[in-house]
C-alpha cells in the first residue's frame, strides 16, 4: 500500500505542482511529457465517461470520474469546480481516496491560495505547503 | 415549492459554514478596508480610477477566494444561474461577510439578478463627503463576485446600481451573465 505521485493541474492543463512520495520505477522520458500525457488522458477519459454514460451525469451528486485501476497502479482523481485537478497514483490495492484529495485541496487553500504572493495560475512554490502536505501524507495509513 | 426548499437549505448551509469560519473583529475589518480605500484616493486622486482599481483588487481576491469557498462549503455544481445566485447570496456572503444578500429583480431570461445587501460590515463607519459623491465605496465586492464566478466558468458583469452611501434606501449589486465559458484544451500533435 503505497503512494507514488501527486500532481496538481489547473483547468488549462498546466501542471502546478508535483510531489513524488516514493521512489518509483526508472524514469522513461521527461516528466513534462508524462504530465502532458496524463492531463490529455484524463481529459479524454472524462469526455469518454460523459459520452457513454447511460444516465445524464449532471444529475449525479458525485464526480463522474473518481479513479481507475491498472495492474501496476491506481489513479485517483478529484476535480474542483474551479477547475483544479488533483491526481494521485498509488498501489492498485488502495481503497477510495477522495477524502484525502479533498484534504489536499483544503491544504492548498490554506497555504497556497491564501498566500498573497502566490499568483493564481503559477506553479506552486510554497515551502509551507510542501512541508504541511508531506506531513499530512506521511501520517496517512496508506503511506508506505 | 422545491425552490423554496432549496433556498432554505442554502440559508441553513450558510449558517453552518459561518459557525465554522474563523472570525475577526468587524471594526478591524471595516477600518482596514476603509484605510485601503482612503489610500487609493490619495494615490490616484480620481474617484473613477479608484472605482476601477477597487474592482480589479476584488477580482484578484475573488479568483483565489473561490477555492476557499468551494473547499469549505463542499458544494456541488449548480444546475442553473438561479441556483448560483442563491448560493452567492445565502452561502458565500454569509461565509465571508457574516451577512446574507437577498436575490431579486430577475430579468425574464434569467441572466440578470440583483443582490440586495442589507447589513454590510464594510460601511459601518462610512459617510461620503460631497467631493467623493461618485465613489463606489464597496466596488471591491463587485470584483470579488466577478473573479470568483470566472473561475467556475461564468463570465459576468457586476455593478452597484443603488448604494446606501449615496442616499439610496438599499444597496443593490446588479449581476449580468455574459457568457458560460467552455472548457478549452487543445491537444498537441
- Give CA–CA dist A132/A67, Å, rounded: 24
Cβ distance B64 to A106 less than 8 Å, yes or no, reads: no
pLDDT at position A16 is: 94
Residue with cell 497555504: A111
Please list every residue in chain B whose beta carbon sits closer than 8 Å to the beta carbon of residue A13. Answer: 185
Distance in angstroms between the alpha carbons of the first and the last residue of chain B: 51
**pLDDT grade for A15, boundaries at 50, 70 and 90:** very high
Chain B residues lying within 8 Å of A102, measured CB to CB? 71, 74
Percent of chain A predicted with pLDDT > 90? 44
**Separation in Å, CA of B150 to nearest CA in chain A:** 9
- CB pair distance less than 8 Å for B67 and A80: yes
Instruction: With beta carbons under 8 A apart, name residues in chain B contacting A58.
Output: 77, 79
Judge if ipTM > 0.90: no
Looking at residues B45-67, what average pLDDT do you find? 95
Angle between helices A127-139 and A98-108 (to 10 degrees): 160
Can you give the pTM of this predicted structure? 0.89
The verdict on B79 touching A (C-beta cutoff 8 Å) is: yes
- As a whole number of angstroms, the distance between CA B154 and CA B58 comes to 16
Taking CA atoms, what residue in A is nearest to B71? A106
Query: Could you tell me which residues come within 8 angstroms of residue B7 by beta carbon, excluding any fewer than 6 positions away?
Result: B86, B90
Q: Which of residues 31-90 of A touch B (CB under 8 A)?
A: 36, 39-40, 43, 58, 61, 80-84
**Any CB–CB contact under 8 A between A19 and chain B?**
no
- Cβ of B70 within 8 Å of Cβ of A106? The answer is no
Residue B189: what pLDDT? 40
Strand A74-79 to B101-104 pairing:
unpaired
Q: What is the pLDDT of residues A66-108, one digit of tens each?
A: 899 999 899 999 999 999 999 999 989 988 999 999 999 999 9
Query: Across the interface, do A80 and B74 touch by the CB < 8 Å criterion?
Result: no
| pLDDT bucket at A27, cuts 50 / 70 / 90 | low
A19 dihedral zone (left: phi>0; alpha: psi -120 to 50; beta): beta
B60, B71, B79: residue with CB nearest A109: B71
Element (H, E) at B142: helix B139-151
- B72 touching A (Cβ < 8 Å): yes
Give residue A54's pLDDT.
79
Task: Say which residue the cell 459561518 belongs to.
Answer: B18
- pLDDT score recorded for residue B1: 44
DSSP secondary structure letters along A91-133: -TT----HHHHHHHHHHHIIIIIT-TTPPTTSPP--HHHHHHH
Rounded-to-integer distance, Cα A94 and Cα B186, Å: 33
8 Å CB contact of B70 and A108: no
List Cβ<8 Å contacts ≥24 apart for A70-73.
Answer: A73/A4
Confidence bin at A62 (pLDDT 50/70/90): low
Neighbouring residues of B106: CB distance < 8 A, sequence distance ≥ 6: B82, B112, B113
d(CA B185, CA A43): 8
Nearest to A102 by CA among B70, B20, B87, B92: B70
Residues B172-182 have a mean pLDDT of: 94
Give the count of beta carbons closer than 10 Å to the beta carbon of residue B117. 25
Taking only the tens place, the pLDDT of each residue in B93-106 is 999 999 999 999 99
Q: Whole-angstrom Cα distance, residue A82 to residue A121?
A: 12
The answer to whether the beta carbons of residues B119 and B146 sit under 8 Å apart is: no
Pairwise CB contact (< 8 Å): A120 & B63: yes
Instruction: Specify whether the CB–CB gap between A85 and A63 falls below 8 A.
Output: no
Amino acid at each position: 500500500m503505497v503512494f507514488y505521485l501527486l500532481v496538481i493541474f489547473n483547468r488549462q492543463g498546466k501542471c502546478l505542482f508535483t510531489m513524488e512520495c516514493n521512489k518509483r520505477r526508472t524514469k522513461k522520458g521527461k516528466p513534462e511529457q508524462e504530465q502532458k500525457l496524463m492531463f490529455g488522458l484524463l481529459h479524454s477519459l472524462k469526455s469518454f465517461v460523459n459520452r457513454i454514460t447511460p444516465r445524464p451525469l449532471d444529475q449525479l451528486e458525485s464526480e463522474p470520474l473518481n479513479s481507475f485501476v491498472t495492474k501496476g497502479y491506481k489513479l485517483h482523481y478529484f476535480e474542483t469546480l474551479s477547475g483544479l485537478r488533483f491526481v494521485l497514483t498509488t498501489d492498485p490495492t488502495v481503497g477510495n481516496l477522495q477524502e484525502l484529495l479533498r484534504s489536499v485541496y483544503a491544504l492548498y487553500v490554506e497555504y497556497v491560495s491564501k498566500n498573497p504572493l502566490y499568483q493564481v495560475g503559477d506553479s506552486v512554490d510554497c515551502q509551507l505547503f510542501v512541508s504541511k502536505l508531506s506531513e499530512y501524507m506521511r501520517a496517512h495509513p496508506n503511506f508506505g | 415549492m422545491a425552490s423554496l426548499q432549496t433556498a432554505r437549505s442554502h440559508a441553513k448551509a450558510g449558517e453552518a459554514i459561518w459557525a465554522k469560519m474563523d472570525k475577526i473583529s468587524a471594526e478591524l475589518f471595516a477600518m482596514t478596508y476603509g484605510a485601503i480605500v482612503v489610500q487609493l484616493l490619495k494615490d490616484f486622486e480620481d474617484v473613477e480610477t479608484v472605482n476601477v482599481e477597487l474592482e480589479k483588487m476584488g477580482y484578484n481576491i475573488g479568483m483565489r477566494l473561490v477555492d476557499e469557498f468551494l473547499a469549505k462549503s463542499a458544494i456541488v455544481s449548480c444546475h442553473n444561474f438561479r441556483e448560483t445566485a442563491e448560493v452567492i447570496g445565502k452561502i458565500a456572503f454569509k461565509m465571508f461577510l457574516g451577512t446574507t444578500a437577498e436575490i431579486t429583480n430577475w430579468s425574464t431570461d434569467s441572466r440578470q439578478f440583483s443582490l440586495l445587501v442589507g447589513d454590510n460590515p464594510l460601511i459601518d463607519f462610512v459617510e461620503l463627503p460631497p467631493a467623493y459623491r461618485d465613489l463606489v465605496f464597496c466596488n471591491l465586492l463587485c470584483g470579488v463576485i466577478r473573479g470568483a464566478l470566472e473561475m467556475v466558468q461564468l463570465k459576468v458583469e457586476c455593478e452597484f446600481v443603488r448604494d446606501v452611501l449615496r442616499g439610496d434606501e438599499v444597496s443593490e449589486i446588479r449581476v449580468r451573465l455574459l457568457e458560460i465559458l467552455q472548457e478549452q484544451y487543445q491537444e498537441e500533435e
